[in-house]
Amino acid sequence: MTLADLRSHIESYLELRQSLGFKTRYERDVLRAFADYLEGQGHQGPLRARTAVEWAATGAPRNAGPPGQRVRLVCLRCFMRHLKAFFPETEVPGHGVLARVARPKPYTYSQEEIAQLQEATLLLWEPGSMRQNAMYTIIGLLACTGLRVSEALGLTVSDLGLDLDPPRILIRNTKFYKSRFVPIHPTAAEKLRVYLLERKRLCPDCSSNTAFLNDKGWPLRYHNVLENFRAITHQLGIQKAPGRKAPALHSLRHTFAVERLTSWHRADMDARTLLPHLSVYLGHVSPEETYWYLTATPELLTAASAKFERHVHTGGPHE
């Protein structure tokens, strides 16, 4: 197999993935970088598993770390399985060659901290300005729906079904290439109505249909929102807890999921049966991703243990 053959099969593989509905930007970057590496090494002949593992482990960007190295190898493994159908001498790296890295437990906000996050927008930016209104509303929306940050920023005004019964928002083409309706509480709908009135007041001739705007009337960008949020947590002095991720905007999603599971346990409801509903609401591709939250916080484990003890003492069934 020549490098020209390899590059040709990379492009064919990417086209196949795209035809099946997958987004391939990350795969394209990884596979093309791997081909460039092989060319720089003067590689000839069939691909060997050792070559793929060495590149994934040592050729990753410095900020990738072990998790990023493992993801790169998974990407390579999928392609090399495809390539093996054309070049049987291709060696596909086995599973577990790079160890799975333990996922850090998320930071979870208390209800008091969430209120402080919103109040801090009034201290950092001019009250009533577009940025202050947008950040205040985004924080509240993420806290009460568990949306991904990108999903909130992708909302358009027409996606906000605030007068429907029940009120709902439409999330389009999300992380896993599907859209979904997310019902929201009437109080959340009212907060969004207030924001839209302020948006119209501040930008009466705005040409953008994007819901959340910056002070210039342009759609808010992801990196700008993250910078704004870091300014808020710095202002409040919210610190990283030992053994957990640093407080971040995405942590509001974790907090929402954990709060929902905890409330089900405390209400003696069957969280195992309800978990798939939460998975759909959050836009997870499968319930397995949502199960991770079951061990996310001591509070949730305490609630689950208390329920188990009640069932043991009463002789009832337990989960």
> What are the pLDDT digits (tens) for 122-169?
999 999 999 999 999 999 999 999 999 999 999 999 999 999 999 999
Strand runs (DSSP E) across the chain, as ranges?
160-161, 168-171, 180-183
Catalytic, 277? Answer no
At residue 319, the pLDDT reads: 45
Q: Given a cut of 90, is residue 256 above it in pLDDT?
A: yes
Examine the residue annotation and report whether 180 is marked as an active-site residue of this protein: no
Q: Is 250 a catalytic residue?
A: yes
The answer on pLDDT for 49 being more than 80 is yes
**One of 81, 172, 175, 221 is an active-site residue; which one?**
175
Q: Which residue has the higher pLDDT, 32 or 295?
A: 32
Query: Which residue among 82, 193, 230, 250 is the active-site one?
Result: 250
Among 253, 254, 260, 265, the one annotated catalytic: 253
pLDDT > 50? residue 264: yes
Among 131, 260, 284, 307, the active-site one is 284
Q: What is the mean pLDDT of residues 199-205?
A: 93
Catalytic site includes residue 281: no
Q: Average of pLDDT values for 236-243?
A: 79
Is the pLDDT reported for residue 173 higher than 90? Answer: no
Q: Residue 261 above 80 pLDDT?
A: yes
**pLDDT at residue 214, rounded to an integer:** 94
- DSSP letter string, 115-155: HHHHHHHHHHS-TTSHHHHHHHHHHHHHHHH---HHHHHT-
| List 131, 148, 260, 265, catalytic entry | 148
CB 83 within 8 A of CB 90: yes
> Does residue 103 register a pLDDT over 90?
no
**195 or 276, higher pLDDT:** 195
What per-residue confidence (pLDDT) applies to 318? Answer: 45
Q: Are 254 and 106 in contact (CB under 8 A)?
A: yes
Q: Report pTM.
A: 0.74
What average pLDDT does the structure give for the chain?
A: 86
For the chain, the residue count is 319
- Taking only the tens place, the pLDDT of each residue in 176-201 is 667 899 999 999 999 999 999 999 99
Q: 59-99 pLDDT, tens per residue?
A: 656 556 777 888 889 999 999 999 999 999 999 998 877 77
Q: What are phi and psi of 169, to 5 degrees?
A: -125, 150
User: Is residue 246's pLDDT more than 60?
Assistant: yes
Query: Is the pLDDT reported for residue 317 higher than 50?
Result: no
Among the listed residues 107, 195, 281, 293, the single catalytic one is 293
Round to whole Å and give the CA distance between 27 and 77. Answer: 11
pLDDT value for 151: 94
Q: How far apart are CA 139 and CA 249, in angstroms?
A: 8
Over pLDDT 70: what percentage of the chain?
86
Range ranked top by mean pLDDT from 140-154, 246-260, 286-300: 140-154
253 carries an active-site annotation: yes
Can you tell me the distance from the alpha carbon of 10 to that of 32, in angstroms, rounded to the nearest whole number? 8
Over residues 237-244, the mean pLDDT reads 76
